[in-house]
Amino acid sequence: MTTTKTPVAVITGASSGIGAATSRALHERGYHVVLLARRTGRIDALAAELGDRATAISADVTDRTSLVSAAERVNSELGGADVLVNNAGVMLLGPFSSEQRDDYRQMIEVNLLGAITAAEVFLDQLKSSGNADIVNISSVAGRTARSGNGVYAATKWGINGWSEALRQELLPSVRVTLIEPGVVATELPTHITHADTNTAVNELYSHAQVSAGDIAEVIAFVITRPRHLAINEILLRPAGQA
């Protein structure tokens, strides 16, 4: 008798927002979901709520060692990853200034280098799967830079360029998809350190119409397409966003 492996989806930044919603959506579709984030209490609670086929592993995407040990557990306990959702991110907006230099480093290390590191750490597992997906969460800011979002946009433009090269290198056994959302109601803007920008962006987000669950449904749609079809890129905005 042959046993079929339960497909395994690793989601970074699974403790809130789009990552938590994606974990729920993929779990619903039969994946074993592996929840990675730094806030262990949150991912433990989500894994407990989901029950079977959910594993929480504390990992910081800026710490390669923590990603390597997460990947070792995924390999030994679950037989390797079939999906990697590179979702972890921070959006520390504000006018360009040396006072925000720590924010710039953090955004580059989490949004860009964190995604690249997670992908290279899980690459062998994804290649061995034969039917794998990498989903990179970019942003409208990966297409259109605006005053006040320069370094955030730089990280997302970086994701877009890297993602396209990776897509060409890994096809067809690993599909690479870029998702570029507009405003989505999550806690993302609450971490902005520049006071005036924090107030203005949180006010904008308090009227957000698109939920994390809306984006999770799109991600679930993308990775459940038949293997002969690859959705390369999706740009999606709230219907009222210019």
- The size of the interface with ligand NDP (CB under 6 A), counted in residues, is 29
Instruction: Report if residue 145 touches ligand NDP, rule: CB under 6 A.
Output: no
DSSP state of 110: I
- Please report whether residue 62 would count as binding ligand NDP according to CB under 6 A: yes
Per the annotation, the verdict on 152 as an active-site residue is: yes
Considering the rule CB under 6 A, would residue 158 count as an interface residue with ligand NDP?
no
Buried b or exposed e, range 32-67, using 16+ CB within 10 angstroms:
bbbbbbbeeebbeebbeebeebbbbbbbbbbebebb
Which of 32, 34, 35 lies closest to 7 in space, CA to CA? 32
Residue range at the interface with ligand NDP (CB under 6 A); choices 56-64, 70-78, 123-131, 223-231: 56-64
Place of tokens 């991912």: 43
Residue with tokens 């942003």: 139
3-state helix, strand, coil in the chain (%, to 5): 50, 15, 35
Interaction between residue 44 and ligand NDP (CB under 6 A): no
Instruction: Choose the stretch contacting ligand NDP; rule: CB under 6 A; options: 70-78, 94-102, 170-178, 185-193.
Output: 185-193
SS (H, E, C) 34-46: EEEECCHHHHHHH
Which 4-43 residues touch ligand NDP, going by CB under 6 A? 12-13, 15-19, 37-39
Q: Is 88 in the site for ligand NDP (CB under 6 A)?
A: yes
Taking the alpha carbons of 20, 37, 221, 181 in that order, is the dihedral positive or negative?
positive
- Residue of 72, 124, 187, 196 interacting with ligand NDP (CB under 6 A): 187
Q: Is 167 helix (H, G, I), strand (E, B) or coil?
A: helix
Q: Which is nearer to ligand NDP, 89 or 158 (CB)?
A: 89
Catalytic machinery residues: 152
Chain contacts with ligand NDP (rule: CB under 6 A):
12-13, 15-19, 37-39, 60-62, 87-91, 110-111, 137, 139, 181, 183-184, 186-188, 212
